[in-house]
Amino acid sequence: MFRRSWNRFCAGEEKRVGTRTVFVGNHPISETEAYIAQRFCDNRIVSSKYTLWNFLPKNLFEQFRRIANFYFLIIFLVQVTVDTPTSPVTSGLPLFFVITVTAIKQGYEDWLRHRADNEVNKSTVNIIENAKRVKKECEKIKVGDVVEVQADETFPCDLILLSSCTSDGTCYVTTASLDGESNCKTHYAVRDTIALCTAESIDTLRAAIECEQPQPDLYKFVGRINIYSNSLEAVARSLGPENLLLKGATLKSTRKIYGVAVYTGMETKMALNYQGKSQKRSAVEKSINTFLIVYLFILLTKAAVCTTLKYVWQSYPYNDEPWYNQKTQKERETLKVLKMFTDFLSFMVLFNFIIPVSMYVTVEMQKFLGSFFISWDKDFYDEEIKEGALVNTSDLNEELGQVDYVFTDKTGTLTENSMEFIECCIDGHKYNGVTEEVDGLSRTDGPLTHFDKADKNKEELFLRALCLCHTVEIKTNDAVDGATESTELTYVSSSPDEIALVKGAKKYGFTFLGTRNDCMRVENQRKEIEEYELLHTLNFDPVRRRMSVIVKDQKGDIYLFCKGADSAIFPRIQIPEPESTKLRNAIDSTKQHVERSAMNGYRTLGVAFKNIAPDDYERINRQLIEAKMALQDREEKMEEVLDDIETNMNLIGATAVEDKLQDQAAETIEALHAAGLKVWVLTGDKMETAKSTCYACRLFQTSTELLELTTKTIKECERKDRLHELLIEYRKKLLREFPKSTKRNCKKRAWTDQEYGLIIDGATLSLILNSSQECGSSNYKSIFLQICMKCTAVLCCRMAPLQKAQIVRMVKNLKGSPITLSIGDGANDVSMILESHVGIGIKGKEGRQAARNSDYSVPKFKHLKKLLLAHGHLYYVRIAHLVQYFFYKNLCFILPQFLYQFFCGFSQQPLYDAAYLTMYNICFTSLPILAYSLLEQHINIDTLTSDPRLYMNISGNAMLQLGPFLYWTFLAAFEGTVFFFGTYFLFQTSSLEDNGTVYGNWTFGTIVFTVLVFTVTLKLALDTRFWTWINHFVIWGSLAFYVFFSFFWGGIIWPFLKQQRMYFVFAQMLSSVSTWLAIVFLIFISLFPEILLIVLKTVRRRSARNLNLELPMLLSYKHIDSGYS
């Protein structure tokens, strides 16, 4: 029992090796054999983190793992166990407040998860038991149960499709809740079970499914089904992703299906994908930890100094034991070392408020609430997809303002991924897809060779290849009869390229009419219907970079049609005989056409075919079936078979498809460059296509000098020697141009000096990354990085997904740890999105895998401009000011307490009342800074987006560097000193009233505290540039609440207090005119340096308004506004 529970709760972590066997309907294969039901995970979904019983201990354990919370817990325990000068309430209440608020937030979020889980687990589903339809709760589904799913219902677990209401055993599914793809996908039942369309017939099925153990990849599945007849002879069929219906997907355009449960509950692919991404930490969070260590050192220093001076003070007998406060016998007998230790702890307790415990809660609230501004931004809303921006994690908001490198995909990110068929080349002849049709096929706009047109048979063969070599489905209103000539065809595919090619063939007179019963139907130019039996589909994958189909025509001839990237097709073309001049010229002409089309920015594909003899097909079919039936290493075995099949092909031609540049993509890249960011394009496309796109989107300017490290510039022979020569040559050139430059100078040089761009392909990158130190003292990688650092833009083409992640990791590990951002729209971009500091997904047409795995997702690339230059800038400034302000106000708070010890004999006497100690961070000063950190706009958003150079002012974590930190620290030290000694000099006259009433130490402390609260609040008011009614309410409201609380706290005799030391203190204090004048004067003196700084900068700004001056580096917050508002 314990083992089952453990497996259920840790389903995502278990080591999944081997296979599992599932008996369909939980029926034994043979009536004579004993059947022992296997134990699998039940179908309950558990996305919640806590239960009613473990919430308190588990949540407390997680919260006290945070250093600040644990520190205050220790302080609280010290106050409880040791005789300290302050009440345990002063530390316990703020800690309790922080812990409670966080627990309520996390408990509420978990309650929502519990509620969502129950909605799913308690929903009703139909199970086939004993040939009858039985209604059960979803959580009671067991592995092996046969489930009936109706149209528009979601699948309750991962099912293998057995049959559907359609005659060919297909069904249509949308997986929007899994990967965001809204288009219908087609799934298939194996041919032996498609006739089992009723509960009675499905119950007669005796079959066993062998499949891999659960794993989270949504697009991979390996299994086979063994179907047993009455003779107990098994018929084995392979199972793949096309047979698996995932939990969370929805059945569409199909009345009902039957499926058998193979993965349930926390073992479904959807549940396994709950596992969170690795936690990313922002630079601000690291700065907070550094500041905490510094302030902890200050705290320990203060406690050590006070403890030492106390015993120096008590070295004189009349100070150690005055006549009015003699020691008890117990105090005299206590060990001096123990007494010193307890005194040290007492001083630690007295000064512990220098560590701001409430800062963590405020930072969390600021990040959580601030993230809504991105989601609410109307400029991010896209009318086409009816969606806006989405924040998947709010922990990195401020990191958007610290980006140094942007890595972007090309297709679907910089371009629309909306393909349009432009032209093609058939047998070396170019055909323009825009001209009118002549004799069925569009008129050529000029041959590349001396022939006017290609052979008619070659033209038709090419168009048939476009109509047959794809995975396009037909979506029609007539679901029974399929597509006809009069039916309006809607093509559906996961790849926009394939739809563009099928539409291009239709324009030339060859129309794909769909697939029925494994038979592909094509209408030719003569309006005749041609039928081809689809024998095998060899799907596209990023490694092969091509896809193929094997079909049989009505005459019985078998063909393989293949299309793919030119680099994947041309090496597999059958080499012509030396005397075949015409064929050789056709291949050369096609290559030239591909290169020219790529230079024009078009996406190119090669198209090839070959005839397959019946004997060869038998061998190929056997190899494919064996590879598909393998449960172990199926992908590797399939790769070997496909590599053998797709060889010695005959080239037919090539296609050119235009992928238009996204709206404002060029303007966005220009703005990012102006902001000092380096933009790298990482793409799998051809170099010529990618280079053309880079010029179009202004990544490369016409004046940019391009440095190439590609297979063209590096000869095949002696590649490493040539690569080393080029690396050394480029490095010398760049070092000569830019001898030595700081990070800031690198950003500024783009306005004056020659710009350089680098182009590298995947093969050369592999050579660089895998090289050893063979050449001199530096290896290829270090020289390559030096070159990249000097280039304003880098284009990496022919990149595999893993290489994209390697590039990002390489830049992340550069000296100085630059902040990286990756943006992409497809599954091949997920690796680099997860690798970078900030990952942004485009809600594109290649599915939502990138958006699901990103930290932020936006509809278009153009939205990156405002996301970084406006939102990122503001988020960083707000939270940096919040952090500095918290440490500043707490140092102002505690410094007078430290100075007070010099005037009270280091007796650990508190300066402030316990209520003030408790409520300072919770009530009196918390809301103004929270409102500021959410609403402040020190520079108008339009100005931030129109002048990208402002982004450079905050780069490199500028506001949390040593300079600003020291500025805030010295400002706090100055103001704390003014608070204390100003009040001290006021008290040189013992009576502050005409009637001779003498004020005491609590009045002294209250005056200091009043000046403190008003000064730190008014300091924030001086820093505020963007006033709203919320700012006014919380700033003036906090001050009013402090005055009201002080009157209320001191105006009533509280029965639960042993000492009424604050009774009437505040009211009596304000009855003195001297006190009023002193408070106003001390506030003015404390704020005078800030006021003076504002005046000086205003004068400087006005004098520099018409001058084109360098933007200043930050010293304190308001320096950001200097010179350009």
Contacts 24+ apart (CB under 8 A), 849-852: 849/179, 849/180, 850/824, 850/825, 850/826, 851/180, 851/390, 851/825, 852/179, 852/180
**Taking 50 as the threshold, does the pLDDT of residue 419 lie above it?**
yes
Whats the size of the chain, residue-wise?
Answer: 1125
**Taking 90 as the threshold, does the pLDDT of residue 912 lie above it?**
no
Give 994's pLDDT tier (boundaries 50, 70, 90): low
Q: How far is 264 from 137, CA to CA, in rounded Å?
A: 13
**Taking 60 as the threshold, does the pLDDT of residue 8 lie above it?**
no
Angle of helix 873-900 relative to helix 358-376, nearest 10 degrees?
Answer: 160
Alpha helices in 130-267 (DSSP H): 176-179, 199-203
pLDDT digit string, tens, across residues 44-91: 888 778 888 889 998 888 888 777 778 788 888 887 887 777 777 777
| Averaged pLDDT, 493-503 | 80
Residue 871 or residue 448, greater confidence: 871
pLDDT digit string, tens, across residues 796-821: 887 777 788 888 888 888 888 899 99
Residue 828 or residue 1042, greater confidence: 1042
Q: Is 673 exposed, middle or buried (0-12, 13-18, 19+ CB in 10 A)?
A: buried
494: nearest Cα among 174, 213, 854, 735: 174
Give 1070's pLDDT tier (boundaries 50, 70, 90): confident
* Whether residue 409 lies in the annotated active site: yes
What is the number of other CB atoms lying within 10 angstroms of the CB of residue 601? Answer: 22
Give 130's pLDDT tier (boundaries 50, 70, 90): confident
**Taking 90 as the threshold, does the pLDDT of residue 185 lie above it?**
no
Beta carbons of 254 and 151 less than 8 angstroms apart = yes
Q: How far is 349 from 752, CA to CA, in rounded Å?
A: 58
Residue 736 or residue 1066, greater confidence: 1066
Give 1053's pLDDT tier (boundaries 50, 70, 90): low
pLDDT value of residue 326? 64
State percent of the chain over pLDDT 90: 16
Q: How far is 653 from 562, CA to CA, in rounded Å?
A: 11
Q: For the ranges 293-307, 504-518, 751-765, which has the lowest average pLDDT?
A: 751-765
pLDDT value of residue 483? 42
pLDDT value of residue 5? 42
Residue 859 or residue 67, greater confidence: 859
**Taking 70 as the threshold, does the pLDDT of residue 937 lie above it?**
yes
pLDDT digit string, tens, across residues 327-382: 666 666 666 788 888 888 888 888 888 887 778 788 888 888 888 898 898 888 88
pLDDT value of residue 179? 56
Encoded amino acid at 966, one letter: L
pLDDT digit string, tens, across residues 32-52: 555 556 688 888 888 778 888
- Token pair 């033209």 is found at 459
336 contact partners, CB below 8 Å, separation of at least 6: none
Q: How far is 189 from 199, CA to CA, in rounded Å?
A: 16
Specify which residues 430 forms β-bridges with: 425
3-state secondary structure of 603: strand
Averaged pLDDT of the chain = 80
Q: Which of 82-86, 707-711, 852-856, 1004-1008 has the highest mean pLDDT?
A: 1004-1008
Q: For the ranges 162-176, 460-474, 654-668, 1107-1121, which has the lowest average pLDDT?
A: 1107-1121
Among residues 145, 343, 377, 409, the one annotated as catalytic is 409
pLDDT value of residue 908? 82
What is the number of other CB atoms lying within 10 angstroms of the CB of residue 963? Answer: 15
Beta carbons of 270 and 157 less than 8 angstroms apart = no
Give 102's pLDDT tier (boundaries 50, 70, 90): confident
**Taking 90 as the threshold, does the pLDDT of residue 975 lie above it?**
yes
559: nearest Cα among 616, 611, 617, 618: 611
| Averaged pLDDT, 125-141 | 90
pLDDT value of residue 579? 56
Beta carbons of 263 and 150 less than 8 angstroms apart = no
pTM across the whole model: 0.73
pLDDT value of residue 1117? 37
Give 1084's pLDDT tier (boundaries 50, 70, 90): very high
3-state secondary structure of 660: strand
Q: How far is 765 from 771, CA to CA, in rounded Å?
A: 10
pLDDT value of residue 36? 59
| Averaged pLDDT, 1093-1100 | 84
pLDDT value of residue 542? 63
**Taking 70 as the threshold, does the pLDDT of residue 177 lie above it?**
no
| Three-class HEC string of 21-59 | EEEHHHCCCCCCCCCCCCCCCCCCCCCCCCCCCCHHHHH
| Averaged pLDDT, 388-403 | 85
pLDDT digit string, tens, across residues 666-681: 889 889 988 989 999 9
pLDDT digit string, tens, across residues 273-321: 654 445 577 778 788 888 888 888 888 999 899 989 888 887 776 666 6
pLDDT value of residue 875? 92
Give 434's pLDDT tier (boundaries 50, 70, 90): very low
